[in-house]
Amino acid sequence: MNTITLLQPDDWHAHLRDGLALKRTVPDLAQQFSRAICMPNLVPPVKTVDEANAYRERIMAHVPEGVDFDPRMVIYFTDNTAPDEVRKIADSEYVNAIKLYPAGATTNSDSGVSDIRKVYAVIEQMEKHQVPLLLHGEVTHNHIDIFDREKRFVDDILSPLLQQFPELKVVLEHITTSDAAHFVLEQDRNVAATITPQHLLFNRNDLLVGGVKPHFYCLPILKRQTHQQTLLEVATSGNPKFFLGTDSAPHSKNAKENACGCAGCYSAPTAIELYAQAFDQVSRIERLEGFASHFGADFYGLPRNTKTITLVKEDQVIPESLDYLDGEKIIPLYAGNTIQWRKM
């Protein structure tokens, strides 16, 4: 298959940042996706519906003329989130979910939830109103190996949570392990997962062999090839519990390439082509539309898009770098390498 036409895809997990960063990130994402769940881990975080709507206005100011783009907003779960905020989300036009970061799990997560039991009153309201809970699924205890943190979250946090709230709508974000994939498969339809392009295309060898490659460093970290293979199997299976979420996150080259480089991969400019590469590598390109364009919208109760895009099997070289902020650069995911698909 040398061309494929699909409904315009959505990105159900993306980081745009704020301020000057939006000049780079919003056009990149809007040229690829019709909608995007916009992560709330700003500084300070987006903690209320009013703050989320204000953030959406700042995003909309950078959407290119003639491009239809609908940012879907999320508020940041803290130990002090009010249960009343859940009804506001349920009644909101643009705010769709609450995002839970375990405190210290990733970039700008220091305000996250310190103990999930502290916010059970809010989660009870989320289950009642069917407001999705989006989870960064890692524990953060220093003594737990970084490669085991997702599995421990599933076992120690998520499993008991769903026993307590069996009807809660949950998206386990950017899953990276066979353990997480199999857990999602075993749950009812109220539990789903997003998968990133980097976790489909790469594994920890790409990060570590021959020296540390900082632009492959993300959280949750890349895992073994066996986990990568499981993610490819579930993403390309046609199972509606798995859908597209890039976790695209902009960091300047200087912030990534230093003694304490930050976590995140920037995939927004060529995201759908990267997913097409992954699906094509396992001869399942015909299943890309469900993963990219159907299943996420269905889970969130939003209408599927009606416009289409076409991908053609044609080599393109991902740029070595992109302009960012004032004279800084971003190194995009797989920079300088050739992929076999291009968006027309």
Binding residues for substrate: 15-17, 41, 136, 219, 251, 263
Structure tokens at 221: 């970290």
The letter for the amino acid at 203 is N
Whether the CB-CB separation of 328 and 253 falls below 8 Å is answered with: yes
DSSP 63-112: SPTT---EEEEEEEP-TT--THHHHHHHH-SSEEEEEE-BTTSSTT-TTS
Whether the CB-CB separation of 178 and 224 falls below 8 Å is answered with: no
Of 305, 320, 199, 180, which is closest to residue 248 (Cα–Cα)? Answer: 199
247 annotated active-site: yes
Q: Is 19 left (phi over 0), alpha (psi -120 to 50) or beta?
A: left
Selecting among 11, 28, 247, 280, the annotated active-site residue is: 247
Q: Residues forming the annotated binding site for Zn(2+)?
A: 13, 15, 99, 136, 174, 247
293 vs 18: CA distance, rounded Å: 26
Q: Residues forming the annotated binding site?
A: 13, 15-17, 41, 99, 136, 174, 219, 247, 251, 263
188 vs 166: CA distance, rounded Å: 9
Q: Which residues are catalytic?
A: 247
